[in-house]
Structure 1
Amino acid sequence: MTAIRVLSYNVRYANRGDHHDAWHERRDAIGRLVRFHRPDVAAFQEPLPDQRADLRERLSSYEFVGRGRKADGEGEGCPIAVRSDRWAVVASDTFWLSETPNEPSIGWDADYPRIATWARVRAADRDPGAPAELLVVNTHFDHVSARARRESARLLRERLPALVRANSTGGDAGRSVPLVLVGDLNCTPGSDPHRILLGDGPEAAFEGAGSADDAGIALRDAAATAELRHGPQTSLTDFSRLIHGRRIDHALVTPELDVEAFATLTDRDDRGRYPSDHLPILTRLGL
């Protein structure tokens, strides 16, 4: 079994109104946090182009994929960073959470364009004939519109099976590639979007959701199924304190993956503050 550690981290966009928590005060701490925990894959939400450049500079041993959500590739992104010494990026792309997912667009009544970036990664030291592979999908749901969050969850339920098939060895008849979906979903466990993604309840997008048949794929909440759980039951901060009861950052996995551990990391910077208004989550998987 191959072990892989996947980190998801909303690093907060560079907001000039953050004053002493402005990006230039936080970027080094975020870089050190990621380097210390050494995830195999780090999925970020909210970084603007200059922030993505800062992350690449501080995480030079990682290969970054992904683009911004605007038509010109600028704006906030959901980049995925992959440890080059252990994993190789085989394929990657981005689509929009909207009625027209293949082109830059704003979906439903969301405030901004929302995207999902995916990367298929392969263990660098494995025989290509029997690779250890993983499909990582990184997303960020709208923070205002409940409808946009529900429809984004439905869209992912509809698109993920085809994405898995397209990236599986040998196509439809071959070995299915395991998938982990991570990101800031702006909703808590048990909410409609969370239940839709798990295929649990009347909001599911189609018959058979939640089962690994032709209709869809099964997803499990890594925090709920992990053999070892560590850290608080929230992932939101105000930079100085935890905001309780707000676990809105998630990792959802397909059944092929053994969820060995799930952690919500509470590292503070050298000022005693959290480096973002979100806590990073780290999932340790076996595949």
Structure 2
Amino acid sequence: MKQFSTLFLLLSLVFTSCNNETKTDNKISKANSNLKVMTYNIRLDVASDGENAWSHRKDFLSSQVQFYSPDIMGVQEARPNQMEDLKSALKDYKTIGIGRDGENKGEFSAIFYNSKKVKVENENTFWLSETPNEISKGWDAAYPRICTYGLFTILENNQKIWVFNTHLDHVGEEAKLQGMELILKKIKSLNTENHPVIVMGDFNVEPDSQLITNLKEQMNDSKEHAKITFGSNGTFNGFKFHERVTRRIDYIMLSKSPNLEVEKYGVLSSSIDLKYPSDHFPVYVELNCN
């Protein structure tokens, strides 16, 4: 009888220990969350693109996004009608952002987000200029440029993360540098609780530029820190299917935070019948956030 009691006690201790380990493991798994992020210059809707005009590629582009199902996606060059087309196709997504010429006017640098995965706590759009709170063109820029940002909460683990999406000018060198400096100043003023930060978009500069050199003093290039990389080095294809794609001008940059690990980085060069869905390839990353 004494031996039976001892055996029962030992089995109880083993069961309790295993159960506690399982609970601990569950807590660990819940504390980490995978976040899929994409930046995509979708090319504005302009009739002069002919066979590459938006009407011929919108379904392809929308299905591409649906297939990769990013939790957060920054778009650039999206005109109001393109925003509506994407909203209709991406059923689980909501958006933040306004057009660069005002409410629902001009090109958006909007952020789409999967409302089943994340929620927005704070959001706004500002202009990259000396007067960021009003519709304006800054420095030597050819066009008004904007940045849309949001503070997101990942529903799975309640981790908060700031996301900034922009499209820097394609002409003004000072406008590019000053615009990014303005974004970094905005991050500093907003991120008082030191949450992880993503800055993404079409920066219109290549990796050896002064802008990227400066930016990497404060942020990490997701490509350089990814455990797995895939696809083309270049991101701007110009709809030229038979030419090599070498210009890398689209980025997903990350704050130097121990809470962000880059599992995968990819440049997605999908095509159908020798046609691309945009004149830029989307950049896609999978992050481990904790």
**Length-normalised TM-score, structure 2:** 0.85
Contact 1:97-1:106 within 8 A present in 2 as well: yes
Equivalent in the alignment of 2:234: 234
CA offset at residue 148 of structure 1?
1.1
Deviations 1:39-73 (A, max 9, x none): 11111000100110111011111011110001344
| Higher alpha-carbon deviation: 241-250 or 32-41 | 241-250
Measured in 1, the distance between the counterparts of 2:184 and 2:122 equals 20
Measured in 1, the distance between the counterparts of 2:48 and 2:205 equals 25
**Length-normalised TM-score, structure 1:** 0.86
Equivalent in the alignment of 2:207: 189
How many residues get paired? Answer: 255
Contact 1:89-1:122 within 8 A present in 2 as well: yes
Gaps of 5+ in 2: 1-31
Give me the identity figure in percent.
Answer: 33
More helix by share: 2
Of 254, 263, 267, 2:266 maps to 263
Structure 1 residues 70 and 243: CA distance shift in structure 2, 3 A: farther
Contact 1:120-1:135 within 8 A present in 2 as well: yes
Query: AA paired with 2:249?
Result: I
Contact 2:33-2:156 within 8 A present in 1 as well: no
Measured in 1, the distance between the counterparts of 2:65 and 2:103 equals 28
Give the secondary-structure state (helix, strand or coil) at the position aligned to 1:43. Answer: strand
Alignment of 1:98-113 (within 5 A): 98-113=129-144
Contact 1:157-1:196 within 8 A present in 2 as well: no
Query: AA paired with 2:175?
Result: A
Equivalent in the alignment of 1:21: 52
CA RMSD of aligned residues (A): 1.3
Measured in 1, the distance between the counterparts of 2:79 and 2:106 equals 5
Deviations 1:14-56 (A, max 9, x none): 1110000110001101110000001111110001001101110
Alignment of 1:99-178 (within 5 A): 99-126=130-157, 131-165=158-192, 168=193, 176-178=194-196
Quick check: which has more Rg, 1 or 2? Answer: 2
Deviations 1:96-148 (A, max 9, x none): 1111111111000111100000111112244xxxx212111100000111121
Measured in 2, the distance between the counterparts of 1:267 and 1:253 equals 25
Gaps of 5+ in 1: 169-175, 200-217
Equivalent in the alignment of 2:89: 58
Give the secondary-structure state (helix, strand or coil) at the position aligned to 1:223. Answer: coil
